Amino acid sequence: MQVTMTVNGTEYTREIEGRMLLVHFLRDVLGLTGTHWGCDTSNCGVCVVWLDGEPVKSCTVLAAMAGGHEVRTVEGLANGAELDPIQEGFRQCHGLQCGFCTPGMLMTCRALLDRNPDPTEGEIREAISGQICRCTGYSSIIRSVRWAAVHEANAAKEEEVAQA
Ligand code: FES
Ligand code: FES
C-alpha cells in the first residue's frame, strides 16, 4: 500500500506493508534514526514522536494510520544550528548519559512545556511516567526540564522588554 505523511515539514510518499509500524517507517524507510526502538510493547517510551502535535509511542501506531497526518521527530526539534531550549536544558543539566531514552524524553518534555510552560517537579514526573531511563535516575531530567522552562520564560520577558 502507499502512504503519504508529513514528517518534520516534508511530505513523503512511500510504498509500505500495511503492518509496518510508524517507528520502523521513520527509521528504516526514511532513515530518521533519531527515534529509537526499544521494547516494542509500549513500555519504554524511547519511540515517542508527535502525531499532529500529540506525543505518541510510535511502536503502537501503524505507519498507515499516520497517513495524511503531521509527524514530528527529534530531528525536527532544533531550529537549524540552534537547539530547542529543551535540548539545551538536557545539555546544560546532564539530562542524559547513554542517550538511548533521550529522543523520546525530549519529545514528551517539549510537548509538556508547550501546554504547561512552568511545570512542577510532580507534573514533570507524571509527564514522563510512561518512559524509562536506565541511566540518569530522573533527577537530572527533571532539572533539565526546569532549566528549559526558566530559560524560555526569561527569553519571553526579554523579548517583551525589547519590543516595549
Ligand atoms: S519501543 Fe515504543 S514504547 Fe518501547
Ligand atoms: S540516558 Fe541512558 S537510558 Fe536514559
What would the DSSP string read from start to end of 54-105?
EEEETTSSBGGGGTTSEEE-GGGTSBTTBPPHHHHHHHHTT--SS-SSHHHH
For residues 6 and 152, what is the distance between their CA atoms, to the nearest angstrom? 27
Is residue 8 within 8 A of residue 72, CB to CB? The reply is yes
- Domain 85-163 sits in CATH at 1.10.150.120
CA of 34 to the centre of ligand 2 (A): 14
CA–CA separation, 158 and 19 (whole Å): 49
- Nearest ligand 2 atom, CA 105: 4
Give pLDDT, residue 40: 82
Pocket probe mutation, ligand 2, options 94, 96, 138, max atoms within 8 Å of Cβ: 96
Task: State the pTM of this model.
Answer: 0.95
Q: Tell me the C-alpha distance between 42 and 142, whole Å.
A: 22
Contact criterion met (CB below 8 Å) for 87 and 77: yes
pLDDT, residue 159, reads 84
Question: For residue 119, which of 95, 103, 143, 99 has the smallest C-alpha distance?
Answer: 143
Query: What cell does 113 get?
Result: 512545556
| Sole residue written with cell 510512561 | 130
Q: For residue 137, give the ligand nearest its CA.
A: 2
Rounded CA gap, 106 and 65, in Å? 23
Residue 135 CA: which ligand 2 atom is closest? 2
pLDDT tens-digit profile, the chain (164 residues): 999 999 999 999 999 999 999 999 999 999 999 999 999 899 999 999 999 999 999 999 999 999 999 999 999 999 999 999 999 999 999 999 999 999 999 999 999 999 999 999 999 999 999 999 999 889 999 999 999 999 998 888 888 888 88
Predicted pLDDT at 163: 85
What's the gap in Å between 141 CA and the centre of ligand 2?
10
What number does CATH give the domain 2-76? 3.10.20.30
Length of the chain: 164
Residue 112 CA to ligand 2 center (angstroms) comes to: 19
Cα of 52 from ligand 1 centre, angstroms: 19
Contact 152, 113 (CB under 8 A): yes
Q: Is the CB of 5 under 6 A from ligand 1?
A: no
Q: Which residue ranges does the chain devote to CATH 3.10.20.30?
A: 2-76
Please report the pLDDT score of residue 26 as a whole number.
98
| Phi/psi at 132 (5° precision) | -110, 130
Q: Is 47 in the pocket of ligand 1 (CB under 6 A)?
A: yes
Question: 37 in ligand 1 pocket by Cβ < 6 Å?
Answer: yes
Please report which ligand is nearest the Cα atom of 61. Answer: 1
- Backbone torsions φ then ψ of 28, nearest 5 degrees: -90, -30
pLDDT score of 162: 85
